[in-house]
Structure formats: C-alpha cells, structure tokens
Amino acid sequence: MKKGIIFILLLVFSVAGVAQKQGFARFITAEGKYLMDGENTYRFISMNIPNLNYVEDEMTFNREHPYRFPNEYEIRDAFETIKQMGGKVVRMYTIPVKRSDEPEGVPSFVTGPGEFVEEAFVVNDMVLKIANETGVRVIFSFLNNWKWMGGVPQYAEFRGKGFDDFWVDEQLIEDFKKTIEFTINRTNTLTGVKYKDDKAIMCWETGNELKSPYPWVKEIAAYIKELDSNHLLMDGFYAVDDQRYVHPESVEDPNIDILSSHHYEQNPFDQFENIKKNLEIIDGRKPYILGELGFESTSAHERIYDYIIANDEIAGTFNWSIRSHRREGGFYWHSEPVGHNLYKAYHWPGFDSGEQYDEKGLLKLMWEKAYEIDGKERPALPVPKAPGLLSVNNVFEISWQGSVGASGYNIERAENKNGPWEQIAFNVSDARVQYFPLFNDETAELGKSYYYRIEAINASGVSPKSNIVGPVRVSEKALIDEMGNLMELYIAKGVDFDTELDRKFKEDTERLVGDKGSEVIYFVPGNVKKVTIYSFEQNQNVALKIGQSGDGEDYLPVKINISGNRTGEGDYGYWDAIQYTIDSIDKGVSFIKIEFMEKAQIGRTQIVYN
C-alpha cells in the first residue's frame, strides 16, 4: 500500500513538474464565436513578430545577406516585450524554405522535400520553451505564400514546378505534408514536450496570406487535425483588404476553427466595411481574428481597437509589427516598403526615432487597449532589468544588450574599478543608431584607462547597474558622423540629406547625399590614424575620392582600400554597400576631404585620431 501511495505521489509531482515546465494549464479552445481559456473568453490585442524564429534584418554594413537565427537573448526579449505590452499571444511568421536565388550560407529550415535543418528547428524549440516560461502563447504558421524567407514558390521549385501547381499537384502537397508532420510530431529538445502537446501553441495556421483554393485548405486542414487533435487551426487564406474575404467553405469546415483577415487599407472607412463583410460571412459561427493590421494613423488604430473591444465576434488583433533588441546592441530595424515610405517595425516602449509614425503614441495606445479588452486598467511600466554591457575595445565603440521597457541608458565611467563613478551620459537611446556601436565616449582623455558600467531607465525608475567592463586604454579617439545634421562637418558643398526608403540602405535612417562635384571636409583635433566611410552607391565606378591635409588648404591623395559587393538591387532595390578604408595616413594630418565623383549616399564616417 505504501509503495502504491509513493508511486501516486511521484506521478502527481511528475505531472505537476511537466505543467510547470509548460507554463499553461490548458489548451485554447473554441466555442461558437469565442476563443476560450478554460471557462474564460480569450481575447487580445498584440503584435506580429516576423523575426521571432528567423531574422531577416541583420543589416550589418558589410554582411552579404540579412538572414540568421535569433539567439535566446533576442527571443526572450521579444516575448518579454509582448508580455510587458499586455499581449497574451504573438503571431510569428512561418517555417522558412531555402531559396535558390540567395547566396550560399543563408540559413533555412527546409532545404528540400522532407529535408529539415536540426539547428533551425532547435530555434523553434527555444521559442516554445520561452513562450511557456513567459506565459505568452504563439500562433504557429506552417507556410508562406511569398518568397520572403521562402515558401510556396520554393516548394514548387524543388520539383521543377510552378506556383499554381502547389495547390493541386499531389507530389507538392505530399512534400508540404512532410513539413507539417515533422513539426507537429517533433519533440522539443529543450523541454521534452511534443509540439502537438505543447499548450503554448495557441493554434496552428495553415500559412501566411495563402492564395489557396478551398480544396487544398480542406485537405491540409483534415491532415493537420488527423495528426493533432489538441490544437485549434486557423485558415491562413489570403483574405486581405477588399481584394478577398474569408473562405465561406472554411466557415463550414469542421477542421477549421478560426478565420482571419489582414488589413492595410489606406482608407480606414474601407477597413471597417471589409471587416464587417467578413463578420457577415462568418455570422458568429467561429472565432475571427485580424491577423495583421497596420500602416495607418494612431487615431485610426484607436477607432478600430475600440470597435474590436466592443464587438465580441472579433477575438483579437495583431498589429504589424515589432522587432526585438539585437544581441550586438540596439534593435533590429525593418522599414516597410509598402508602408507609404513611412512606417517601420516598432521598438518598445517607443523612441524619438519613431516620431514620424508616432511610435510612442501608438505603442502606449496598444498597451492600454490590451488591458481594456479584458476590462482591466493597465499597470505601471516595470522598472527595467539591468542591461548587459558588451566588451569594449575602444572608447568610441561602446554597446550593450538592452533591457525590455527601457527608454534610455545612463553611462558611467571610472578610473578605478571600485570608483568613484562619474555619469558621462544621460538617457542615451539604443534606438538612435542602426547596426553600429551605440555610444562614443568623446570626453575620454588620451593616455588614460577607464572602466564602464551602465543603467537602464524609464518613467518607473532606474535599473540595477550593469556588469563592469574595463580597463579600456585610450590610445585613440574618434569623430563619428551618423549624418543626423551638418554639425560634425568642418565644411560642406553641394550636399543634402535623405531619410527615405531606408530598406534600400541597410536600414540606415539618415544619409548624406552628394553628386559629382559635391564635397565635405572633416577636421579632428589630433593626428588622423584611420578613416572609414560607409557609402551606398549604384554604379560600377568608384564614387568617392579622399584627400588628406595638415592645414586644410593643400590635399594629398591617400591609398584607399575599397570593399563591398556591387550585387545590384535584390528584393528591395538595394543600393550597393561600399566601404572605403584608409589606414595609411601621413603624419600631422588633421583634415580629411571627401569628393564625390559619382552620386552616392554616405551613411557614416568614422575618423580615428590621437
């Protein structure tokens, strides 16, 4: 008898341990028009995070492609951001598929029919692990209609077939089913839980914006439900704006649990009409979600949020979109080429860099509405956790891993590890610079050594101090021009600034524009040791000529190392990223002249001196 009791207790503790590891007590279910979490209706206002399991925005200047896998810090930052905003669930993008038109070395998840990359799927394992730990669920989409990150066109290409074949060709359908089966039956290598048993998945989605005929939807939905009876399934049919509405047949299909549509109407009045049309088709028989919503004013967002909150036939909405902090410091950036040359991916809690699209105002509104949809008042913003200061090789290259909810950072310096500490910068934004070090200690004195630490701040308070880094020997300083204005220049002729179409320029938001005959001159209070110019160009000729001078009058030529690939426009009409490096400078040089021989846009100039 005692052995039986002990066995039962061990079993109870084991089950409790699994539940704790999973983080959720139950699966989300559907009852008529409602999503249900147990006996409670499940409603939300949240965000899409396209980079959650696959980064498409690693825009380091000299990097050939923008793709990589996120690490744990970035995934956790993304989930904690959604949780802090009041979101209960996040919609991620899809399962990437290898593209033949991308350079070698681009990572992917699916490299051929039934060929899966284990390293990639471990990223999905990490996503679900952290979803359970943070209490934020995931909508897990199987397939992309578009070539971005790879999808329908790539599955078809594997077999030498076309896009339209994907929906009707038995071989292609079986190929896709292999991906579905591999995913649903996968055992998470980090938690030991099969995906089909993981309550962190709110629902599966057939795909993103699929131009899928209903017979394909019917077959795939039945197959998914055959493999997994625990989770809901959302139809990812391309119901967008007033071009298409939800499949009426999917409303009747017993294997489809949720309907969704995407909304980027330029006229918000049209948006309401299109949403109402979908509601008429669904007629309260199943839950309805606005899977993507965006590219409109804060006022328009507020009106649609209020409509959603008042209309319980809409379970929730996902704004498009938000990006996490980046492991090397700062954030990932993503301009939206179809977003009226205005909107970018948002960064929590909102920064001055997003003023044009009211980033602070919209995110605050979303935060409030995420609680209002549950009849709650939003809480105060938590005090940030301590940031992580990264290693520092030069005093002009200081970066850190940011803290969720921080609006800025105070930077402190000391000549001794034990202090005394001096604050040398207050409320420094980590959303000011894209893909370069975040801070330049311009007040550092040559010949000295320093220790550094930082703290994160927001309206609720100040974080604990970061780790201490140092000592850092000041053998060189730097003038760094991020092209925000003309104030770093000594003199300029025939130049202008460009702040548009940033996706074409590695997401650099401010650039100096010159054409043949334009020139700029820089001066530093010391001897120039190295010059690096980050230029964007559209021609095969060398666009810049650099000269050196000790007095600012007579300029001598310099030996220039030019690197970068003139690879052409790619998916977004990229300008070629060309780096000019001069590391052989005459003694006594304090002036650097840049002459434009062709049209170019300079995103950053760095002049190292002592």
Residue 19 has pLDDT above 50, yes or no: no
Residue 444 has pLDDT above 70, yes or no: yes
Q: 433: closest CA among 474, 402, 410?
A: 402
Residue 15 has pLDDT above 60, yes or no: no
CB 603 within 8 A of CB 513: no
Architecture of domain 480-609: Sandwich (2.60)
Q: Which residue in the block uniquely carries the two structure tokens 């899409």?
A: 48
Residue 14 has pLDDT above 70, yes or no: no
Sheet strands (E) in 29-95: 29-31, 34-37, 40-41, 44-49, 89-92
- Name the DSSP letter for residue 597: S
At 95-115, the pLDDT tens digits run 999 999 998 899 999 999 999
d(CA 306, CA 434): 35
Q: 604: closest CA among 57, 60, 55, 58?
A: 60
pLDDT at 2: 37
| pLDDT confidence tier of residue 338, bands split at 50, 70 and 90 | confident
Q: End-to-end CA distance of the chain, in Å?
A: 82
Q: How many helices (H) and strands (E) does the chain have?
A: 10, 30
pLDDT at 1: 39
At 52-84, the pLDDT tens digits run 999 999 999 999 999 999 999 999 999 999 999
pLDDT at 357: 96
CA atoms within 13 A on the CB side of 489: 18
Q: If you classify domain 35-372 with CATH, what class do you get?
A: alpha beta
| pLDDT confidence tier of residue 11, bands split at 50, 70 and 90 | very low
The whole-number average pLDDT for the span 189-215 is 98
d(CA 408, CA 425): 10
Torsion sign (Cα): 29, 31, 35, 39: negative
Residue 168 has pLDDT above 50, yes or no: yes
Residue 9 has pLDDT above 70, yes or no: no
Q: Which fold has domain 388-475?
A: Immunoglobulin-like (2.60.40)
pLDDT at 22: 56
Residue 6 has pLDDT above 70, yes or no: no
d(CA 201, CA 125): 12
At 570-589, the pLDDT tens digits run 777 889 999 999 999 999 99
pLDDT at 529: 98
CB 339 within 8 A of CB 61: no
d(CA 258, CA 290): 11
| pLDDT confidence tier of residue 569, bands split at 50, 70 and 90 | confident
Q: Which residue in the block uniquely carries the two structure tokens 């790879």?
A: 150
d(CA 419, CA 531): 34
d(CA 126, CA 130): 6
Q: 33: closest CA among 319, 371, 278, 367?
A: 278
The whole-number average pLDDT for the span 21-44 is 94
Percentage of the residues of the chain whose pLDDT score is greater than 90 = 92
At 390-442, the pLDDT tens digits run 999 999 999 999 999 999 999 999 999 999 999 999 999 999 999 999 999 99
Torsion sign (Cα): 542, 543, 548, 554: positive
CB 413 within 8 A of CB 442: no
pLDDT at 21: 54
Of the listed ranges 227-241, 303-317, 328-342, the one predicted with least confidence: 328-342
Residue 335, classed as helix, strand or coil, is strand
Average model confidence (pLDDT) across the chain: 95
| pLDDT confidence tier of residue 308, bands split at 50, 70 and 90 | very high
CA atoms within 13 A on the CB side of 333: 26
Q: What are the backbone angles phi and psi of residue 214, rounded to the nearest 5°?
A: -60, -40
What is the residue extent of each domain of the chain? 35-372, 388-475, 480-609
Residue 559 has pLDDT above 60, yes or no: yes
CA distances from 552 to 523, 544, 549 (A): 8, 18, 5
The whole-number average pLDDT for the span 490-508 is 96
Burial string for 217-232 (b: 16+ CB within 10 Å, else e) reads bbebbebbbebbeebb
Q: 452: closest CA among 421, 483, 409?
A: 421
CB 479 within 8 A of CB 441: no
pLDDT at 13: 36
pLDDT at 416: 98
Q: 531: closest CA among 561, 505, 490, 487?
A: 561
User: Which tokens in the block code for residue 545?
Assistant: 């000529």
At 226-277, the pLDDT tens digits run 999 999 999 999 998 778 899 999 999 999 999 999 999 989 999 999 999 9
At 506-550, the pLDDT tens digits run 999 999 999 999 999 999 999 999 999 999 999 889 999 999 999
